[in-house]
Amino acid sequence: MIGYSSIFLALLITCIAAFFYSKLHLSTVRRPSGKSSADKLGLQCYRLSAVLVGIAAGYLLYLILDNRFEYAYVFSYSSRELAFMYKLSAFWAGQQGSFMLWLVFHAIFGLLLSRKSYAPPGVMAIYSVLQAMLLIVLLIKGPFMLLAQPQMDGVGLNPLLQDFWMIIHPPIIFLGYAGLAVPFAYALEGLFSNNHKVWTAAALPWALFSWCALGAGVFIGGFWAYKVLGWGGYWAWDPVENSSLVPWLVNGALVHTLFWARLKVAAIKPAYLASIFSFITVLYGTFLTRSGVLSDFSTHSFADEGVGGLLAGFVLLTIFAGLVMLIIRWPDLPEGELYAKVNSREFTLGCGVLVLSLMAVMVFIGMSTPLVTMLLGNPSNVSGSFYNSTSQPLAAALVMLLTVSPMFNKKTKDTIRLKQYWWLGVIGLLSVALPFKLGLYQPILVITIVFSITALIMNSVMVRGNEKLSWSAAITHAGLAMMVLGIVISSAANKSTMETLDLQQSKQILGSEITYMGIEEANDGSGFYQKFTVRHQEIESSVIQAFTKYNKEGHPSAREPGIDRRLLADLYVAPVMKHEDHTGTEIRLGTGEGRQQDDVTINFISWKMIPGTTGQEMKVQTLFEVIKDGKKEEIQPELVYKKGMVTSAPVEAFSQYEIMINGVNPRDGTISIDFTDRATNSKSDSIEVEISYKPLINLVWLGAILITLGCGWGASNRFRALSEITDNKKQKGSMSYN
């Protein structure tokens, strides 16, 4: 009762706060010498609602740490043996917990806004309404639901999520989501009050902060995928991945339109659009990932738990409120030219906004395809080639702009003489050698690589005092150029091969001598290591270890590759693991199909989906027939879906074979199983591995770090400048937002 009561009271009091703030905004009575009663009541109500949010969140954390498995959420994502840090991450591992985390950050940012004189009551009213939306979601589907039958232990956290980077990845993403509500609130307040020139200064620091947080979250997610999942990449264009990428791209456009609006008042129009759509894409991405729409197209998607329609309604309501107000106020918005001439800072800012917006539109179309095709009756998804073909020319245009934009001085109006940058042209010509050296001859790849190098150099040398680039902008732009360079080269010049290695056997593979050293159990019993030695061009050999984690039942679950990290390239070793003690052979069957495997025949008879006992899960129940030497045995392995987490246990046949379900495709009825013959696999001393050579992939991670540092530095500078402006207004006795 504590959890739901806190959420209900927080919702009620947040709505009251929104009412008082709205009343104050509409009254137009602003007393410089003090706050009105409505202002005080709004502030007190908002602070009380934030306290209640803290109580609800604290109670959920207490339930997790105290092993209260009578609660469905705790049962689904925690267990007694789970380490303390992973119990903390269980707080946001599920759908309800992640909404709670989002709400906590939203409430904290609201407290910061409420104590600043530059946050007018209209902003706080809108921000309170947004907070009420999150509270409604948690009230309808909160993490405090009790199980029909209390349990002694929980399912535990998915082993894939038991990683340091996945502890910090979701909180950072939700910091960005919560932060984007602030520019949205400022923009709508500007439209309501018909005050179009002041809000941009207050929104800019929050836009930079959100861009920093969202970018860091996206980059960490990519690094986690590369380090843990073992498929060799860091970005699969998964619709759920894209649901975080689109807001980051729109957020980048927002940041640049806010800078643009400081130079040209006519740019306030695109600034309004970017502010509105940056938050809309957050809500839309949340709807896609948590409504069940993507359940057949993404391994990251949450199942539909009854909030899909509610989230869709909030998306439509936000779009309606933002765009209707913008249309009504459009004739009153500042007019004028967006740029004076082509070779100007304003023009390059506008081009940057356009490129980032086009990138966001292309990714948005791709990630929305499952929803659109589902409404048309034939659900389908776009392939990775769609994203690659549309993003490559836009990436080339972006690094071109990053090369040109630093040429334009902030203060002087003189025309740029391109002759003075002759040295940059020489560097560009010399840079052509790099893609040719790597065997990359496609024109778009060559152009992107060359301009990435020139952009990196240009932004590194153009930081000279206040008349050139700021340090924060230079670091961000250089990091983006570096990351694009790393993405293009590590992807296009990647080399990969499948090899079978015998124990203690050495092979020359992709320029390195690789030796399989065998299996070693982890000291804590959490899994086992597969060790390899790698020697590269007479350099001292190094040892890398691929790690397989056990799930609660003691069966292999999460498989991490071994990575030999070097300055100029990574050697990536991912065991396929068909011949290990702990796994078997993957077999895919359709309903009614059979297959001969070793000395047995496996027939897939039927399957069905049935609701789980808790109402929080879905089970896939299957029926197989295993035939050996004329004898038959029927087995029924199951696969359980719990809010996006999948668990399965092997079922034994003839006391020798194990069959475990890996996955089911509901659309065509095919099933993937893992077949293990313990009698033969235990004697195998060989391993099948996929080995990849990834040149300059470290540029991806280094570029991501520089982008995050640059955005964070810029946000810090803008917050400090805004605080100084606010302090000056206080000293002059003016507390008016206008």
Q: Which pLDDT band, with edges at 50, 70 and 90, does 228 fall under?
A: confident
Is the sign of the CA dihedral 519, 515, 558, 609 positive or negative? negative
Please state the rounded mean pLDDT for residues 265-271.
93
Per-residue burial over 36-73, b if 16 or more Cβ lie within 10 Å, else e, is: bebbebbbebbbbbbebbbbbbebbbebbeebbbebbb
Query: What is the Cα–Cα distance from 211 to 195, expressed in whole angstroms?
Result: 25
Predicted local confidence at residue 101, as pLDDT: 96
Helix (H, G, I), strand (E, B) or coil at 312: helix
CB 359 within 8 A of CB 249: yes
Query: What is the Cα–Cα distance from 564 to 427, expressed in whole angstroms?
Result: 32
- pLDDT digit string (tens) for 99-118? 999 999 999 999 999 886 56
**Which residues have C-beta within 8 Å of that of residue 207, sequence separation ≥ 6?**
180, 183, 251, 254, 255, 258, 275, 278
Sheet holding 527-536, edge to edge: 506-509, 512-521, 527-536, 542-550, 556-560
Q: Which of 125, 210, 142 has the alpha carbon at shortest distance from 174?
A: 210
Helix (H, G, I), strand (E, B) or coil at 28: coil
- pLDDT digit string (tens) for 421-477? 888 889 999 999 999 999 999 999 999 999 999 999 999 887 754 456 788 999 999
- pLDDT digit string (tens) for 292-324? 666 655 555 555 566 778 888 999 999 999 999
Q: Is the pLDDT of residue 196 over 90?
A: no
CB 683 within 8 A of CB 466: no
Tell me the C-alpha to C-alpha distance, in Å, between residue 540 and each of 241, 246, 530, 573, 735.
39, 44, 20, 18, 67
Is the sign of the CA dihedral 147, 148, 153, 157 positive or negative? negative
Query: What is the Cα–Cα distance from 460 to 468, expressed in whole angstroms?
Result: 11
* Predicted structure pTM score: 0.83
Question: Per DSSP, what are the bridge partners of residue 625?
Answer: 603, 634
Predicted local confidence at residue 597, as pLDDT: 85
Give, rounded to a whole angstrom, the gap between the first and last alpha carbons of the chain.
Answer: 45
- Summary mean pLDDT of the chain: 85
Predicted local confidence at residue 409, as pLDDT: 60
Query: What is the Cα–Cα distance from 367 to 236, expressed in whole angstroms?
Result: 12
- pLDDT digit string (tens) for 181-191? 999 999 999 99
Query: What is the Cα–Cα distance from 294 to 644, expressed in whole angstroms?
Result: 11
Please state the rounded mean pLDDT for residues 699-724.
92
Query: What is the Cα 599 distance to its own chain's centre?
Result: 46
CB 531 within 8 A of CB 517: yes
Q: Is the pLDDT of residue 682 over 50?
A: no
Query: What is the Cα–Cα distance from 401 to 395, expressed in whole angstroms?
Result: 10
Helices 164-193 & 121-140, crossing angle to 10 degrees? 130
Please state the rounded mean pLDDT for residues 523-551.
84
CB 448 within 8 A of CB 392: yes
Tell me the C-alpha to C-alpha distance, in Å, between residue 191 and each of 198, 282, 350.
11, 21, 22
C-alpha torsion angle, residues 316, 319, 320, 325 (rounded to 10)? 170
The residue with greater pLDDT, 639 or 268, is: 268
